Amino acid sequence: MRLPTSLLAVTIVLAMGFGHAFGQTLFEKLVMPGPLAMAHAKLEEKCSNCHDSFAQKAQSNLCASCHKPVQADRTQKTGFHGRNSAARTQDCRICHSDHKGRDADIMLLDRETFQHDLTDFLLKGPHAAVPCASCHASGKAMRDATSACIGCHKKDEPHQGRLGTTCEGCHSAEAWLPAKSFDHTKTKFHLNGAHRGVPCTTCHTNEQWKGVGTQCVDCHRLADKHSGKNGLKCADCHTVDKWSAVKFNHDKQTRFPLRGAHAKVVCTGCHAADLHAPVPSTCSGCHKEQDPHKGSLGQACQQCHGEESWAKKVAFDHDLSRFPLIGLHAAVPCESCHLSQNYKGVSSSCSDCHKDTHHEGLLGTKCAACHNPNGWTLWRFDHAQATSFPLTGRHVGLACAACHTTSHPQNLKISKECFSCHAADDAHRGAFGRACGSCHSTASFSERIERK
């Protein structure tokens, strides 16, 4: 007997209502197309786990409540379900229909035709030929495969984790070797000058990439010709372009400009110890052992010597001394008067340098009274002006020694009396006294002056 249509409808509604309260109803069992796939088998007891009565469009929301990572991809437009417009907008059932049996494949993944470009990990270079199972482990969701290089290549990693896990910083998917250029400017040590062409392992020995010293001596300690005496600030003098090209400007960076022969002196010539230790700036501070004067002339060596040559072009202004060099004295070598290199204590008397072989000391030591520095033979002496005894008559033309007979006298003053020179010529034998000038003149001693 057939039930009325109204009664059948009431029966269905009651069956569905009791089903929501006590699990899958008889009606639901009757209308179920088939068993769920193995992954959904535990949901089969209650249709409301995946279905909302009379609301087919709400089914995708129920899928999302269980598959939250997939729903996150759709929302954030990441992964396959977010990057593929169809998977992002269509209902889940369009691709993943169920009730086809326990062994049914509801993923419908074709590994041969799957477009990996629709995922967050594009297959580039050798990756395009790698089997899926090499990256997607069996029993795990496809989306759970790591996209980090280290996830697959940890065993092949030669750096043993010392460079972190961002392999793409140096390597590319197209070719693992050779490594692409590393941007060293992103580190605290930029590669400039000659450092640009140095192989990485020269500084990073034993694959040590972190904690490498950035001071010059950390790499160049064995090449330090100063053996550490000049400290650790190599960049003060050297450049990264060429180690042997010293850039230190002594003229600007110190108080002692290097001029003349000093410019050719090696650093250790003055800086025997630590380069930064104080060094004397006086000539005697460095040249004390070379001082031929043994310090007798003080420390102002620059008054006579120049920096071009210590021994050549010695200049001394003798005119500033007590004995200016006049006439022929200006061309006389220093050694002619200064017999030793102690230039002090030399007499300024003519007789000390010029031995008197002509007058034999009869005229004393005041040679300048007659002679001048322009020429020894160019002498001039005016007896009338220089003394109180003018030479007249027969006295004119007499040799100096005729009257000045005493050798090396303290002065040339002698008696003006005739008798002092002519006592032997006195025919009167002193009878008329010593006032010879009363009767005689200098014109002729034998002739008597006629008195009126």
What integer pLDDT is reported at residue 65 of this predicted model?
92
Low-confidence winner among 169-173, 257-261, 328-332 (lowest mean pLDDT): 169-173
DSSP three-state, residue 56:
helix
What integer pLDDT is reported at residue 195 of this predicted model?
92
H or E, element range at 13: helix 5-22
pLDDT tens for 359-408 read 888 888 888 888 889 988 888 888 888 888 999 988 998 888 888 888 88
Which is nearest to 148 in space by CA: 132, 166, 163?
166
Once rounded to an integer, what is the mean pLDDT over residues 59-67? 91
**Tokens at 146, concatenated:** 């790591």
Once rounded to an integer, what is the mean pLDDT over residues 83-110? 92
Residue with tokens 């379900």: 81
Question: Which pLDDT band holds residue 450 (cuts at 50, 70, 90)?
Answer: low
Cβ atoms of residues 445 and 422 within 8 Å: yes
Residue with tokens 């692409």: 180
1 has a pLDDT exceeding 50 = no
* Highest averaged pLDDT of the listed ranges 101-105, 155-159, 221-225, 345-349: 101-105
Once rounded to an integer, what is the mean pLDDT over residues 333-356? 85
Looking at every residue in the chain, the average pLDDT score rounds to 84
12 has a pLDDT exceeding 60 = no
DSSP three-state, residue 154:
coil
What integer pLDDT is reported at residue 452 of this predicted model?
54
Sequence-distant (6+) residues with CB within 8 A of 416 are 388, 389
Q: What is d(CA 252, CA 181) in angstroms, rounded to the nearest whole number?
A: 40
Once rounded to an integer, what is the mean pLDDT over residues 252-262? 89
274 has a pLDDT exceeding 80 = no
C-alpha separations of 323 from 296, 352, 382 in Å = 19, 14, 25
Quote the DSSP letter at residue 187. Answer: S
DSSP three-state, residue 124:
coil
What integer pLDDT is reported at residue 442 of this predicted model?
86
C-alpha separations of 439 from 420, 424, 429, 444, 450 in Å = 16, 17, 15, 11, 8
Count Cβ atoms within 10 A of the Cβ of residue 92 and give its class: 0-12 exposed, 13-18 middle, 19 or more buried. buried
**Tokens at 69, concatenated:** 């990572």
Question: Which pLDDT band holds residue 7 (cuts at 50, 70, 90)?
Answer: very low
Q: What is d(CA 122, CA 88) in angstroms, rounded to the nearest whole number?
A: 19
Q: Which residues of 367-376 are buried (b: 16+ CB within 10 A; e: fewer)?
A: beeebebeee
What percent of the chain lies above the pLDDT cut of 70? 93
What integer pLDDT is reported at residue 76 of this predicted model?
95
pTM of the model: 0.43
Q: What is d(CA 406, CA 268) in angstroms, rounded to the nearest whole number?
A: 67
Once rounded to an integer, what is the mean pLDDT over residues 51-68? 86
25 has a pLDDT exceeding 70 = no
What percent of the chain lies above the pLDDT cut of 90? 19
C-alpha separations of 175 from 134, 162, 168, 179, 180 in Å = 18, 21, 11, 8, 9
* Residue 25 CB neighbours (<10 A): 19
Cβ atoms of residues 225 and 271 within 8 Å: no
What integer pLDDT is reported at residue 21 of this predicted model?
45
Cβ atoms of residues 372 and 379 within 8 Å: yes
Sequence-distant (6+) residues with CB within 8 A of 275 are 226, 229, 230, 231, 267
Q: What is d(CA 133, CA 145) in angstroms, rounded to the nearest whole number?
A: 10
What integer pLDDT is reported at residue 3 of this predicted model?
44
**Tokens at 293, concatenated:** 């004067």
Of residues 173 and 230, which shows the higher confidence score? 173
Max CA distance (Å), the chain: 217
What integer pLDDT is reported at residue 38 of this predicted model?
94
What integer pLDDT is reported at residue 14 of this predicted model?
47
